[in-house]
Amino acid sequence: MARYAGPNDKIFDSSAETTPFDLFKEWDVKGAVAATADGRAIDLHTRLTDSGTILPILPGSPEGLEVIRHSTSHLMAQAILRLYPGAKFGVGPSIKDGFYYDVLFPVPISEEDLPVIEAEMKKISGEKLRIERVDMTSAEALEKFAGDPFKTELINDIGADSVSLYGQGEFWDLCRGPHVPNTGYLKHFKLLSLAGAYWRGDEKNVMLTRIYGTAFADADSLKEYLARMEEARLRDHRKLGRELDLFSFQPEGPGFPFFHPKGMALMNTLMDFWRREHAKRGYSEIRTPLILDRGLWERSGHWDHYRENMYFTEIDERPYAIKPMNCPGGILVYKTSIRSYRDMPMRVAELGTVHRHERSGVLHGLMRVRCFTQDDAHIYCAEDQITDELKRVMELANHVYGVFGFKFSVELSTRPKDFMGEPSKWDLAERRLREALESTGTKYRINPGDGAFYGPKIDYHLEDSIGRTWQCGTIQLDFQMPEKFDMAYIGGDGAEHRPVMLHRTILGSIERFIGILTEHYAGAFPYWLAPVQARIIQVKPELGKYASEAEGLLKKIGVRVERDARDEKLGKKIRDAELEKIPYMLVVGEKEAETRSASVRSRTRGIIGPTALEDLGSLLGDEFNPLLER
C-alpha cells in the first residue's frame, strides 16, 4: 500500500501502480502538463510505486512553460522529419521565452520555409500522438541511433549505463524529460527565426541550422509575446543605429563597432555624465595600457581561467596580451606608491577599452562585441570599510539607473566551481555582500555558482520600457587579487595590512549600454542625451544669414544644433526631423527673421510657437539635464 499526498492536503492510498494522471483525476486537479514527485519533475504517465508528495506542474507556471516549450521543440523536430526525411538533429532545449532545435538539413532552408514547418506542427498537434518515455541501455541506444553521428557522440559523452529517450510517432530523441502527455497539449506556438550554429558550439564542427520558436499555455499570452517581439523589432538598435547614423559594423572588423559623429556625441555625453557622478563621489580617474606582458595575466589568474577569451601578440620577442579587463593594470597603479591607511578607501575609476574574443556566432550588434569600453572602478579599502563602500556603490547605481528611468532587480552570484583562493575568504566575501544588501533593504535573489573566478558579486538587471531585462552593473568583492599581487598598505599601527578590492561597473559596457538605451527610448533619446538636440529649419535659401546667426547663438550656449538649409519643401524637412527623433525643431521663415524669433516645435510638448531668439536658451534650458544639476 502506497500513500500519496497532494495539493491542499489531499491524500490517496493505493495498492496498485498509480500515475500522477490518475491521482489528479481523483483529486479533481485540472490542466496539469507534468508533475513533481517529492520535488522531482516527472511525466503524468509515470508509474508510481513509492509513497510521496505528488504535485501538479501547471501550464502557466515557469516549470509548466518549460515543459510545454521543450515538448514543442520535439513537435517541431517531428514536423521537420516528415517534411525533410534524412534530417539529423542536434539538441533542442527550452530557453528563456521559447526553444530551439539544431538541425542538419538534407537541403538548404530559409525563413520562408518556417510557415510550412509550422503548418505541419499544427497537423501533428491535431493527431494527439502519445509522447512516451523509454529507458534503455547505452548499448541499445547506440544501436537505435546507429548512423547518427550527433546522437552517437552524445551517448558516448554521457558515459552512463543507461539513457532515456522520448518518442512520438516516428520521431525519437535522447531526452531527460518530462514532456506533456500527447501532442494535443501543444497548440499555441510560433516559429520565429533561424540562424547558423556549430555543433556543440565548436567552430571546428559542422554548421547546423538552428530554428528558434516560442510556445505558451494560451493564445492570449502568445499574442502578447508576439506583439512585444514586433515592438522589439522596431526598436532594434542595429536598425536604429543605421537610420539615426549612430554607428556601423564593417566586414573589415567583425565585432568591432564604428561610431559615427552622432554616435560619438551620444557616447561622449554619457561619459561626461559618468565622470561627473564619479567625481562627486570621490573617485579619481586613471588610464592603463591596452597591451601588457603575459606574465601579468598569469599572475592575475586570467591566463588559467580566461585565456580562451583573450587576444595575444608578441613585442621584442616577448609574449603580451591585449587586456580583456582593466583590473590588473589598476593594481599596478596602486603599487607605484606606498599606501597608508589614510589613503583608504582609495576609489579609482577607468573608462578602459578592453578586447575579448567572442565567437562569430554570438556577436550581436552593440550587445555582444569584441571591443568595448568598460566603465570600471576599483576600490581599495580596509576590511572594516567594506560594507560602507558597498553601500556607496549601490547608491550610485540607484541614482544612475533612476536618471534613465530603469527599474532593476538584483542577484547575488556565489562561488563558481572554477574559483581561485581559499573557500573561507569566499564565505566572508559572500557574507559581506549579503550584509550590504540586507542592511539597505535591497531585495535580491541568489544565483548560485555564477560569481567571477576571483570573487562573488552583486549583479544589476535593468528592465527596459517594454519589459525586457539586461544585465549591466556589477559589484565584485575580491580578496584574491590583493593576495596574488602582494598588495599592502601601512596601518595606523605601523604594520603592513592587506587591502580588500572591490571591482565594479555601473553601465557595464558603454557600447552595450548605448544599444540598450537606443532600444529603451526607441531612438527618441531625452534632450540631454540626444546627439542633435535642436535643428534649425531654414524655409528659404536667402534666410541663411539669420539661420546661421541662430545656430551660432545656440552653439555658444552648448546646444548640439544643426541647420537644415536644403532646397526642399518645409513639410519634408519637418518630416525628416521627426524621423530622426530630434527633440526640437526651430523653423525660421521671413516672419521669424523680421521678428528675430523661431517657431518652435517640441518632440514631447508639441507646437510651442514663436519664441524670441534671446529666449531660446532659457526655453531649452528648462529641459532636464543631469550634467547641469548642482
Active site amino acids: 327, 356, 374, 376, 378, 457, 503
The label of the residue with cell 501533428 reads: 124
Angle between helices 386-403 and 261-280 (to 10 degrees): 140
Q: Which residues are registered as beta bridge partners of 408?
A: 462
C-alpha 474/C-alpha 459 separation (Å) is 4
Radius of gyration of the chain (CA): 30
Residues contacting residue 109 through CB under 8 Å, at least 6 positions apart: 84, 194, 209
Grid cell 557622478 in the structure block, residue: 277
* Helix or strand holding residue 272 (H, E): helix 261-280
Q: Are 601 and 588 in contact (CB under 8 A)?
A: no
Residue among 581, 621, 618 at smallest CA distance from 601: 581
Asked whether 430 and 448 are in contact (CB, 8 A), the reply is no
What separation in angstroms does the CA of 533 have from each of 106, 527, 603? 54, 6, 10
Residue 394 Ramachandran class (φ > 0 left, ψ -120 to 50 alpha, else beta): alpha
Q: Are 165 and 174 in contact (CB under 8 A)?
A: yes
Express the helix, strand and coil content of the chain in percent, nearest 5 each: 40, 30, 30
DSSP 296-351: HHHHHTHHHHTGGG-EEEEETTEEEEE-S-SHHHHHHHHTTS-EEGGG-SEEEEEE
Enumerate residues 6+ apart whose C-beta is below 8 A from 327. Answer: 300, 376, 378, 481, 501, 503
| CB neighbourhood size of 434 (10 A) | 16
The answer to whether the CB of 603 falls within 8 A of the CB of 595 is no
Strands of the sheet with 445-447, listed across from one edge: 284-285, 346-355, 371-381, 500-509, 469-478, 457-463, 407-413, 445-447
